[in-house]
Homo-oligomer: A and B are copies of this chain.
Amino acid sequence: MDQPVRHDSMRARNLALVLGEVSRGGPLTRAALAEATGLTKTTVSKLVGDLLDARMVTEAAAVRDGERGRPGVAVSLSGDHLGALGLEINVDYLSVCVMDLTRSVRLRRTQAVDNRYSISTDVARKLRKLALEAVDEAGLTIGGAVLAVPGPVDPARGLLHGAPNLGWRDIRPAELLDLPVPVAVDNEANLAALGELWFGSGAPDFLYVSGEIGIGAGLVFGGALFRGTRGFAGELGHVVVDPGGPPCRCGGQGCLERYAGQDALLQAAGLLPFGTDAEPVGGRGPAGIATLVERLRAGDGRALDACEQAGRALGVALISAVNLLDPGTIVLGGVFAPLFPWLSGPAARSLSRIGHAAPRLEVSAVGPDAASLGAAAQVIEQMIANPATHLSRA
């Protein structure tokens, strides 16, 4: 931000401008790019030339749209050369994906592993193997990776402050991975929000609510994440729903997580005994939720009640979130996605008591690998925003 502008950064900026336009606007001719960016045709031609040399864009066949005049040559992102790696460590699985510059997923690998109270170096070794195989197979030049972890992260220092469900504290996962590309680390909810941004409904401003064992939220504004001072923003799970409510492991009382977290839901539905670490009926995680959905479909009263209560609490927490953050819409993801038909009604009723227009509640359109998709997409976004660093004639 407080860097001087020299000729080279001027060029870098304009290069990013052109590439960004290509990325957003699909295949465009040089003339259309000049129009869109406000640069002259001459300049655009030179910039596109550099991008072609760097294999970041390709020329398609001439565009003949039936108009008079010489047809333009469409320039579009090239998926053949550069790629990005998305990684995820979560409680029940490891996940890897390789994405090309066009944001197409080239390859996915998921490995079911129980990482509860695991040793971080072991997990890292497994993920490393998975990642290297995937990169090898995809055959792209990987420019970087982002790793999603289930806990608060300081992205600037790559520090995972703590992942309660893994039993990890103050770890630098990027160093453990030791991959031959730069690895950034971020929170799972944040990256799932980015996954929703790129592969979901397409809204540019929303609050993504990630229902997992804990409840997180990623706030996306104009296509960028809002992180807070220390990267702890979006801890929706510990918003107070009832100050006289039951105690929470965070030290507080009446946190949302105690009403709408996965364990609370399963307990209320009678699928998980009230001792925290017991094994639930139908298994924890996806399986437990699948059982819950079955019972909801069957009209089980206890299950329906559990969702009613959870939805209402979620709505109350969202009132606070809307008043403080003013998100465009609210997207429910994670385990809230399959439960959406039963949660959204009560949540919307709570939420509607807000003064001004309440934002819409939507289901996440992405799915369980939102975080690793978002992670890879984040790398791609960086590449498109900084094409100069990938130019061959550095």
A residues neighboring B (CB under 8 Å)? 2-7, 10, 13-14, 17, 20, 37-39, 152, 161, 205, 217, 221, 226-244, 249-253, 316-317, 319-321, 323-328, 350, 353-356
Contacts and interface: CB of A to CB of B under 8 A. Distances in A.
Nearest to A327: B229
A4 B38 CA distance: 6
Number of copies: 2
A326 B228 contact: yes
Given A10-B10, A323-B236, A324-B321, A229 B205 contact: yes
A163 to B, nearest CB: 14
A323 to B, nearest CB: 4
A231 B326 contact: yes
Nearest to A162: B356
B324 A239 contact: yes
B235 A324 contact: yes
Contact of A240 (B161, B253, B316): B316
18 contacts: A2-B20, A4-B17, A5-B5, A10-B10, A152-B356, A221-B228, A232-B326, A233-B326, A235-B326, A236-B324, A238-B323, A241-B243, A243-B316, A252-B319, A252-B353, A252-B354, A320-B324, A321-B324
A14 B253 CA distance: 51
The 9 closest A-B pairs by CB, nearest first: A228-B326, A250-B355, A235-B323, A232-B326, A233-B326, A239-B320, A229-B328, A252-B353, A205-B229
Contacts of A13: 5
Contacts of A235: 323-324, 326
Nearest to A161: B356
A238 B354 contact: yes
Nearest to A44: B4
A217 B249 CA distance: 28
Contacts of A221: 228-229
Contacts of A217: 324
A251 B326 contact: no
A153 B148 CA distance: 37
Contacts of A244: 242
